[in-house]
């Protein structure tokens, strides 16, 4: 039978907009030593704004952007929303075939028989498209590269903002003796800038979904109880691997919310230490 304290804990959490799918996760959170977080949509707003567009000489920027926008209309990734907000309505005359979303990389499709790629430089590498002459500089922006017809066609720089309560959330976790860690598929330079803003020492960028999973496995192998907090489609496997998988409910995909053990409905990172405190208080009542 379920001890009465668990119902109290689950209720107390739910009144704070935190849904627990079982009392066992209250226990696990009470003992958690590492909170591993995704960057985009978890610690940052996940609302990108296009800063700059650079299209290679000889290509029509409007034409390239229209194709990119059409391709991104197949994705729910925050990057897709930024591009849609910038370019505007999708040109229905553009025909895309074999549209594919490659997790942690971006999108691929055929346009009139030519391969169009939109994503990070790893995606271009995968299709052996040269881009090493492209200088994206030291600016802490996310770079979305475009490959078209076997060549580098240009890139967009996009920027996101940290959530207003993210720094406080990190400080509260540290005060509870927890080590915060950030894992991201974004460029290392962007990840470092966000980590420095928030006071996170352990931060890793350029990670594929499987790299994130391996990182969690490593941490678990050292005997630590791990909570992972994420938002995106790509986070479902990592959430499943963690002792406690926490999803941001507002931005989160259905798959992520389904897999999660705990859902933070209003997407505020400050609810992470609140959930941990409810776990600790509940344990005191039960035992």
Q: Which stretch binds ligand ADP (CB under 6 A): 84-92, 98-106, 165-173, 255-263?
A: 98-106
Contacts of 182 (CB under 8 A, 6+ apart): 36, 37, 38, 39, 43, 191, 194, 195, 198, 200, 202, 203, 204
Between strands 34-38 and 226-230, the pairing is parallel
Q: Is the Cα torsion angle 169, 172, 174, 179 positive or negative in sign?
A: negative
The residues, any chain, with a CB within 8 Å of residue 284's CB and separated by 6 or more, are none
Q: Which stretch binds ligand ADP (CB under 6 A): 112-120, 163-171, 241-249, 270-278?
A: 112-120
Q: β-strands 49-55, 202-204: how paired?
A: unpaired
Q: Which of 9, 119, 269, 273 binds ligand ADP (CB under 6 A)?
A: 119
**Cα separation of 195 and 182, whole Å?**
7
Cα separation, 287 vs 285, whole angstroms = 6
Task: Find the binder of ligand ADP among 13, 35, 50, 80 (CB under 6 A).
Answer: 80
Q: Does 106 bind ligand ADP (CB under 6 A)?
A: yes
Q: Is 108 in the site for ligand ADP (CB under 6 A)?
A: no
Q: How far is the CB of 285 from ligand ADP (least distance, A)?
A: 36
Catalytic residue among 38, 231, 243, 261: 38
Q: Are 163 and 250 in contact (CB under 8 A)?
A: no
Q: List the beta bridge partners of residue 221.
A: none
142 part of the interface to ligand ADP, by CB under 6 A = yes
The listed partner (Mg ion, ligand ADP, none) that binds 142, CB under 5 to 8 Å by sort, is ligand ADP
Q: How many residues bind ligand ADP (CB under 6 A)?
A: 22
DSSP letters spanning 229-274: EE-SGGGHHHHHHSSEEEEETTT--HHHHHH-SEEETT--TTHHHH
The stretch near ligand ADP (CB under 6 A) out of 58-66, 77-85, 131-139, 254-262 is 77-85
Q: Interaction with ligand ADP in 216-275: which residues (CB under 6 A)? A: 232, 234
Active site residue 38: yes
Among 9, 140, 147, 185, binds ligand ADP (CB under 6 A): 185
Residue 154 or 230: the one with the smaller Cβ distance to Mg ion is: 230
Whole-angstrom distance, CA of residue 107 vs CA of residue 126: 12
Instruction: Name the residue nearer to ligand ADP (CB basis): 104 or 252.
Output: 104
3 state SS of 36? strand
- Name the site residues for Mg ion (rule: CB under 5 A): 38, 40, 232
Catalytic site residues?
38
Q: Which residues bind ligand ADP (CB under 6 A)?
A: 38-40, 72, 75, 77, 79-80, 104-107, 118-120, 142, 144, 184-186, 232, 234
């Amino acid at each position: 039978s379920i001890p009465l304290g668990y119902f109290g804990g689950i209720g107390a959490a739910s009144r704070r907009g935190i849904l627990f799918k079982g009392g066992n996760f209250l226990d696990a959170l009470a003992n958690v030593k590492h909170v591993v977080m995704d960057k985009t949509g978890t610690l940052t707003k996940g609302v990108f704004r296009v800063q700059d567009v650079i299209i290679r000489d000889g290509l029509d920027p409007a034409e390239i952007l229209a194709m990119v926008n059409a391709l991104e209309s197949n994705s729910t990734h925050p990057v897709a929303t930024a591009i849609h907000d910038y370019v505007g309505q999708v040109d229905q005359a553009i025909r895309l075939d074999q549209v594919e979303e490659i997790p942690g990389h971006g999108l691929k499709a055929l346009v009139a028989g030519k391969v169009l790629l939109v994503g990070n430089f790893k995606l271009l590498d995968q299709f052996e498209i040269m881009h090493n002459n492209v200088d994206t500089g030291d600016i802490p922006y996310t770079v979305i590269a475009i490959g078209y017809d076997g060549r580098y066609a240009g890139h967009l720089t996009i920027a996101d903002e940290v959530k207003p309560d993210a720094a406080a959330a990190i400080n509260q976790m540290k005060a509870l003796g927890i080590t915060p860690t950030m894992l991201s598929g974004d460029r290392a330079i962007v990840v470092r800038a966000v980590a420095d803003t928030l006071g996170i020492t352990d931060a890793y960028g350029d990670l594929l979904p499987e790299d994130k999973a391996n990182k969690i496995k490593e941490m678990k192998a050292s005997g630590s109880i791990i909570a992972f907090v994420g938002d995106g489609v790509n986070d479902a496997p990592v959430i499943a691997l963690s002792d406690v998988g926490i999803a941001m409910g507002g931005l989160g995909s259905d798959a992520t919310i389904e897999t999660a053990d705990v859902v933070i409905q209003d997407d505020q990172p400050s609810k992470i230490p609140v959930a941990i405190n409810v776990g600790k208080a509940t344990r005191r009542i039960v035992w």
